[in-house]
């Protein structure tokens, strides 16, 4: 009896070894051995993508060495319906795939290259080694697609500068967890590390250091390409009119001068919404952003605007009167946001409906979701996933327990939730501690956003699979911290 249980247990460990859990997964105990010398990835004859497809050629190479870490050269068959190897993933990208592993051959079918990438990731997680180091994969059928189209992760490079390699490493780990949006909160009050081609003074004067703490244009391109290769969109955030202290250093007259009584106090508040030069500047900057970042979205922020400085400034008060805003500074803020997003829409020829609202206020997020979707807005949830807030113990369970569509509203309203994102704000985070703080804690949200909620509600059942996945992350060189007492076969080798 004991032996039977043990056998069963072993089986379970191998059957459930994919994170995030695929929508449908059938596995049998029949296993096939994989020979690193003989295994290879090939394009199917009827595949639209063939050799020369940059995204997949690179992915084959990457996944081969992930699966067989000791070998550098490499039968899988891959069939992709449509081409699009040189494009960028977007909101409508079809990430579904079917994977069928049988004797001697595995077939991965997907509509797009992005789906193929997701399938390759699952495939790589199915392969395991026995005690003698031989590679095996069980007979498996997977039908898989994401629950939500937008599965994001936010990094903040303004409060602390993150070196390029830290960002690239994060993109790697994101692909392993099937995240598909990198929300790059690139500038903010403390520093402006984005090196603008139109306004070089923004980083020359606003970055922590004009050479060592900036992202050059080629750095940004590298991030975008690294992300593209992994099916990840890069959405930059240029937050205004608040959160712009660092902008003011390189762009005189952009910020509102605060007053103390009748005289300027020497400090500055949010962007000055009363002068035309502001909007000219924003237009040029956003034009550049559109040119540099291929994604059709940019995050315009608009959060936490403090009105005290506007209130103190006589010009702003005169403007308020002229516009008939009375004392309601939220009207001034809306005026600014409207003009800025009109600028944006002019640039992109976009319509009102394309705005996506991100919900970040913690305690009442269900109510907010209900309210926003009722008004017909599409929403993204990040409120419960501010994982920069650390606490003792297994706090991934809190992230895992979130149910994004669990709010009062109609079916139609629930469809307006297009996804969510994990946020790692940078007050207490830099290159020294970013990775262990992100992984595997972010994996909890990754599964919630990808997998079927019905099948993944029990955190205790998820625990052994996540534990295994974190060891896999370690093996792949991601500095993922432990979930609890225990060990991995390959411990982290760095410092």
- Backbone φ and ψ for 38, nearest 5 degrees, come out as -105, -20
CB-CB contact of 219 with 271 (8 Å)? no
- Backbone φ and ψ for 98, nearest 5 degrees, come out as -120, 135
| 96/246 with CB nearer other proteins | 246
DSSP string across 163-181: -HHHHHHHHHHHHHTT--E
| 51/391 with CB nearer other proteins | 391
| 209/415 with CB nearer other proteins | 209
Burial bucket for residue 215 (CB in 10 Å: 0-12, 13-18, 19+): buried
Minimum Å gap between C-beta 320 and other proteins is 28
| 197/389 with CB nearer other proteins | 389
134-156 CB burial, b ≥16 within 10 A, e <16: ebebbbbebebbbbbbbbbbbbb
CB-CB contact of 189 with 281 (8 Å)? no
Tally the C-alpha atoms within 13 A of residue 210's C-alpha that lie toward its C-beta.
Answer: 9
Do you find a cis peptide bond into 440, omega within 30 degrees of 0? yes
Q: Where do contacts with other proteins occur on this chain (CB under 8 A)?
A: 159-161, 163, 165-166, 169, 189-191, 208-209, 212-213, 245-246, 388-394, 426-433, 435-437, 474, 479-487, 489, 491-495
| 103/392 with CB nearer other proteins | 392
Minimum Å gap between C-beta 397 and other proteins is 13
**324 C-beta neighbours (distance < 10 Å), count:** 8
Minimum Å gap between C-beta 360 and other proteins is 16
Minimum Å gap between C-beta 419 and other proteins is 25
* Three-state DSSP state, 255: strand
| 98/398 with CB nearer other proteins | 398
Minimum Å gap between C-beta 275 and other proteins is 24
* Sign of the alpha-carbon dihedral angle for 32, 36, 40, 41: positive
Q: Specify whether 304 is catalytic.
A: yes
Minimum Å gap between C-beta 389 and other proteins is 5
| 88/128 with CB nearer other proteins | 128
Minimum Å gap between C-beta 493 and other proteins is 7
Minimum Å gap between C-beta 243 and other proteins is 12
CB-CB contact of 419 with 385 (8 Å)? no
Minimum Å gap between C-beta 246 and other proteins is 8
* Sign of the alpha-carbon dihedral angle for 170, 172, 173, 177: positive
Cα distances (Å, whole numbers) of residue 170 to 387, 419, 439: 15, 20, 9
Burial bucket for residue 234 (CB in 10 Å: 0-12, 13-18, 19+): buried
Burial bucket for residue 494 (CB in 10 Å: 0-12, 13-18, 19+): exposed
CB-CB contact of 438 with 177 (8 Å)? no
First-to-last C-alpha distance (Å) of the chain: 45
| 150/400 with CB nearer other proteins | 400
* Length, in residues, of the chain: 495
* E-strand stretches of 186-333: 233-237, 255-260, 263-271
* Three-state DSSP state, 122: helix
Catalytic residue (choose from 288, 304, 321, 491): 304
* Three-state DSSP state, 183: strand
| 165/353 with CB nearer other proteins | 165
Residues annotated catalytic, as ranges: 304
């Amino acid at each position: 009896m004991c032996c039977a249980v043990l056998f069963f247990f072993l089986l379970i460990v191998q059957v459930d070894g994919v994170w995030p859990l695929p929508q449908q997964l059938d596995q049998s105990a029949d296993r096939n051995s994989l020979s690193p010398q003989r295994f290879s990835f090939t394009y199917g004859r009827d595949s639209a993508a063939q050799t020369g497809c940059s995204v997949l050629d690179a992915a084959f190479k990457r996944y081969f060495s992930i699966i067989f870490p000791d070998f550098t050269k490499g039968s899988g068959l891959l069939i992709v319906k449509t081409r699009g190897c040189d494009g960028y993933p977007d909101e409508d990208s079809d990430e579904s795939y079917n994977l069928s592993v049988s004797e001697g051959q595995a077939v991965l079918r997907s509509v797009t290259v992005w789906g193929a990438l997701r399938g390759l990731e699952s495939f790589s997680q199915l392969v395991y080694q026995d005690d003698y180091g031989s590679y095996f994969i069980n007979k498996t059928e997977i039908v898989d697609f994401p629950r939500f189209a937008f599965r994001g992760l936010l990094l903040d490079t303004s409060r602390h500068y993150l070196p390029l390699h830290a960002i690239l490493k994060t993109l790697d780990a994101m692909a392993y967890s099937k995240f598909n949006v990198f929300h790059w909160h690139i500038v903010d009050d403390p520093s402006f590390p984005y090196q603008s081609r139109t306004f070089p003074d923004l980083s020359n004067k606003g970055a922590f250091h004009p050479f060592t703490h900036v992202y050059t244009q080629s750095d940004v391109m590298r991030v975008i390409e690294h992300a593209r290769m992994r099916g990840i969109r890069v959405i930059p955030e240029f937050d205004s009119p608040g959160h712009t202290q660092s902008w003011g250093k390189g762009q005189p007259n952009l910020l509102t001068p605060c007053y103390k009584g009748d005289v300027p106090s020497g400090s500055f508040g949010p962007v000055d919404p009363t002068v035309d030069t502001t909007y000219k500047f924003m237009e040029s900057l956003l034009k550049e952003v559109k040119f540099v970042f291929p994604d059709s979205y940019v995050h315009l922020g608009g959060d936490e605007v403090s009105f005290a400085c506007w209130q103190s400034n006589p010009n702003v008060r005169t403007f308020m009167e002229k516009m008939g805003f009375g004392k309601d500074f939220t009207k001034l803020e809306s005026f600014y946001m409207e003009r800025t997003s009109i600028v944006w829409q002019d640039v992109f020829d976009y319509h009102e409906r394309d705005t996506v609202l991100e919900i970040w206020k913690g305690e009442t997020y269900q109510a907010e979701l209900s309210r926003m979707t009722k008004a017909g807005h599409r929403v993204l949830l990040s409120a419960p996933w501010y994982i920069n807030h650390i606490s003792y113990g297994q706090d991934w369970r809190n992230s895992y327990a979130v149910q994004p569509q669990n709010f009062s509203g109609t079916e139609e309203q629930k469809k307006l939730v297009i996804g969510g994102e994990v946020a790692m704000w940078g007050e207490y985070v830099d290159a020294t501690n970013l990775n262990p703080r992100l992984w595997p804690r972010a994996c909890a949200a990754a599964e919630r956003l990808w997998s079927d909620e019905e099948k993944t509600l029990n955190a205790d059942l998820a625990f052994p699979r996540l534990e295994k996945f974190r060891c896999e992350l370690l093996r792949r060189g991601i500095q993922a911290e432990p979930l609890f007492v225990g060990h991995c076969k390959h411990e982290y080798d760095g410092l």
